[in-house]
Amino acid sequence: MSADTSPLVLSSKLEELLQSLSDRAFAERLRRVYTAAGQAIVRLSDLDLLKYESASVDDSPDLSLWEEMAPVIRDTVMDVNVLLNVIREEFAVKASSVAGAAGAPLTATVEARRAKDASELLQGWMQQLAQGITQLGEVMRNPSVVSDRWMLLSEIQRLRARFREQIGNLVFESASAFGPVTRQQVVPGHEAEVKAAVMVRAIVADLARIVEARLAQVREAEPEDVQWNAQQLQTELDAFGRTAAYKHLRAQDKRHVIEVRGRIGQLAIQDNPSKQIVLAVVEELHSIVSSLFNVNQRQVLITHDREVWAGCGVRLERAQGLMGSDPAAAARSLAEAAASAQSLYGRDARLDAFLRKARKQPLAQLTGPELRSTLELLQSLLGALDIM
């Protein structure tokens, strides 16, 4: 487990929720669970798997890899079990101590019912986490997994991500029993996970543009320019490998990128590489990069995109309403909407083109017809997004 033993600070919304409970004993039990949940999410997020990766995808199966990765598996199990033990200690038997008997104040009765709901939710997620530990053990006993570096890394990433998601659900759903909250308000690490997903999507979008442009150049290249294009693509892939987004890619996606990168590297040192072979490799890379846009299907991004989309719509409606009376304020509202929409970069190619241009254009200073046309264009682009 992580050596960081500093106490976790709960979000202000969770603190507000806990302080609102009249049953202080129940609130403290809930606090201990939320603290343990937050610590588990942090520990399950802070593992850097890059040091376990290989620059080759042709490593022969080697069961000694299990010895290298066994501590990671052990820590994953221990991190989840620490949380499970806290839930068992605090909620395995007793529900809220708030009395719901006849004659009790109505507020106490309502709180008792909500506490009972929260307790049942906690126990339900505890069972799912425990089942996940069992499934992890089954996966790690599969010889085809533990003898394949990339498959093992992929499974570790998948299982740790699932544990983080389940723990986040545990916090969110139990907190929701007491009133309306958002995941960002109560789930530890949620904001960081959203930022990482947004960043991956944005850098993948830029990589896709680079690869698409390189593909077009290879198709039109004269024989003497083919090697140069291979060398340029090699440099571009090397640059992508140094980005923060690369660190957050799934292991199997990295495996495909590394494989193609190796083939491009071999072609780049040939004096007269075949144009058809180079073209075939670049087309394969284009297909791989296109598949990376599956990140848009992640629930954390779908939820984020809906919230951003709605917020942009409100700002644009405000700007439209101010066009006649206060054009300067309308321009500022348009600029705010465009700035917020930057976190949607990678969702749609047409919107991406607008956002790239907006980064270089002082939207807050637009006036007259240009202001109106820009506002209407952004409204149209956002309206065309399929995120609902």
pLDDT in tens, 28-43: 999 999 999 999 999 9
Q: Which two tokens stand for residue 104?
A: 């009790």
For the CA atoms of 13, 341, 242, 190, the dihedral, rounded to the nearest 10 degrees, stands at 20
Q: Which two tokens stand for residue 307?
A: 């919230």
Question: Could you please report the per-residue DSSP string of 38-75?
Answer: HHHHHHHH---GGGG--S-S-PPP-THHHHHHHHHHHH
Long-range interactions of 163-167: CB distance < 8 A, separation 24+: 163/40, 163/44, 163/76, 163/79, 163/80, 163/129, 163/132, 164/41, 164/44, 164/45, 164/189, 164/193, 166/125, 166/128, 166/129, 166/132, 167/37, 167/40, 167/41, 167/44, 167/83, 167/125, 167/129
Q: What phi and psi values does residue 345 have, to the nearest 5 degrees?
A: -60, 125
Within a 10 A sphere around the Cβ of 92, how many other Cβ atoms? 13
For the CA atoms of 235, 236, 238, 239, the dihedral, rounded to the nearest 10 degrees, stands at 120
What's the pLDDT at 64? 64
Q: Give residue limits of the domains in the chain.
A: 12-188, 194-295, 299-383
For the CA atoms of 119, 125, 129, 130, the dihedral, rounded to the nearest 10 degrees, stands at 60
CA separation (Å) from 352 to 13, 198, 203, 282, 385?
Answer: 34, 13, 12, 23, 12
* Neighbouring C-alpha atoms within 13 Å toward the C-beta of 159: 26
Q: Which two tokens stand for residue 117?
A: 């709901």
Helix (H, G, I), strand (E, B) or coil at 108: helix
Within a 10 A sphere around the Cβ of 44, how many other Cβ atoms? 23
CA distance linking residue 228 with residue 8, whole number of Å? 52
One-letter amino acid of 369: P
In the predicted model, residues of the chain with pLDDT beneath 70 are 1-7, 46-66, 93-108, 388
- Name every residue whose Cβ is closer than 8 Å to that of residue 124 and which is 6 or more positions away in sequence: none
What's the pLDDT at 56? 56
Helix (H, G, I), strand (E, B) or coil at 264: helix
What's the pLDDT at 57? 56
- Name every residue whose Cβ is closer than 8 Å to that of residue 281 and which is 6 or more positions away in sequence: 260, 263, 264, 267
What's the pLDDT at 70? 82
pLDDT tens track for 179-204: 899 988 999 889 888 999 999 999 99
CATH class of 12-188: mainly alpha
Q: Which two tokens stand for residue 217?
A: 């150049």
What's the pLDDT at 144? 80
